[in-house]
Chains A and B, each alone.
Chain A
Amino acid sequence: MTRKTSLVSADWVAENINNKSIAIIEVDEDTTLYDIGHIENAIRFHWRDDLQDGLIRDLISKDKFEALLSKFGISNDTTVILYGGNNNWFATYAFWYFKVYGHEDVRLLDGGRKRWELDARPLVTAVPSRTATRYVAKDRDNSIRAFRDEVIAEIGKSNIVDVRSPQEFSGELAAPAHLPQESGQIKGHIPTAKNIPWSKAANEDGTFKSDDELKALYVGAGVDLRKDTIAYCRIGERSAFSWFVLHELLEVKNVKNYDGSWTEYGSLVGVPVALGA
């Protein structure tokens, strides 16, 4: 059911590309690809420059979120379609972010930029102009966001799902393998966490696996879907991907994304840490 309301196919986007009631947004960490080519009529959000506070480590304030969406001509009743590279990591992060601020109709392009490109669908360089609006956000919904003290308190109680690669989980690597490995955090994982890499939920082309496959993945790894769940990774974007799978596709209740993730947890003094597979 939520697959119908949270996910759209590349065909759907192609058919709705000039639909005035939707806003297509490319979201990424490295948004230079947008300049090379993007889906027609897509606007660009930069994961850091547009969506991070910049001074303190947090989401941008409600006022700033309202200003951002207003500037890009997004209304409260706009259907927001998100996509990006990196297998939609930052697009699912933005999806979670839009939900935190209460946006009603937000959907993800299944497979993101990768599926679009592997299909050899057209990309354009023209930047669309949209008429500014007056967007009104809701107060943050922290029922889908976990904070550090809660994570520590839930060790051994809630499902804690570490969605990083097996090498990051075990303590062999400090970051994903496409990033330099120097970092300020210690290595390892939160005790009792189950390692279910985000990538296991995706097909090679970046689209999501079927609901049956996804359910088998989490249950098979020891996640009790009746219990509360906290997902984390390194900076909270890959865990937004797994949050999307659990909360939006499988409709599991009480799933939170711990966006502080390992860069916060691995820097805390005195908290328990586990090593190994």
Chain B
Amino acid sequence: MRTCGATPGGPDLTGVNVATQSIIQGAVLCEGINDGVPNGAPVTNAYVRLLDSAGEFTAEVPTNAQGQFRFFAAPGAWTVVVLAAGAREEVKVQAQQGTPVDLIIEIKD
């Protein structure tokens, strides 16, 4: 259950040299109850693809047991695509060095 003041969507950044990296990370969650808070169960068998500003594939990771993913990108415009059984979601993001982008992506049932 995600509550107010909870940690951001992506994996814990302890031990990661955030200052030198342009991180895009987050969590993929099932659609929760309709209360305006993304609180569905983590999607643990999704594939998250990172496309560059030209829409070219750059990297892909499976989500972990918490539905989380992380990319070490370069500063600039990227698109995050989530593939799960029967679902596809796309989010455009702007990466910058030193400030991780943290996403919560909902998969509709």
Chain A interfacial positions (CB closer than 8 Å to B): 33, 36, 85-87, 114, 117-120, 165-167, 172-173, 175-182, 197, 199-200, 204-205
Contact = CB atoms under 8 A, between A and B. Distances in A.
B47 A177 contact: no
The B interface is mostly helix, strand or loop, or mixed, namely strand
A85 B72 CA distance: 19
Contact of B57 (A33, A117, A165): A165
Closest 3 CB pairs of A and B: A199-B57, A177-B59, A120-B85
A85 B45 CA distance: 11
Interface of B: 16-17, 20-21, 44-45, 47, 49-50, 52, 56-62, 65, 70-74, 81, 83-86
A175 B74 CA distance: 11
Given A117-B45, A197-B57, A178 B74 contact: no
A117 B85 contact: yes
A182 B15 CA distance: 14
Nearest to B54: A166
19 contacts: A33-B62, A36-B44, A114-B83, A118-B83, A118-B84, A120-B86, A165-B52, A165-B57, A165-B58, A167-B52, A172-B74, A176-B59, A178-B61, A178-B71, A178-B72, A180-B21, A180-B72, A181-B20, A204-B83
Given A167-B58, A178-B71, A179-B72, 17 more contacts: A86-B60, A114-B83, A118-B47, A120-B86, A165-B52, A165-B56, A167-B52, A167-B74, A173-B74, A175-B72, A177-B71, A177-B72, A178-B70, A180-B21, A197-B56, A200-B57, A204-B49
A51 to B, nearest CB: 21
With most chain A CB atoms within 10 A of its CB, the pick from B47, B70, B84 is B47
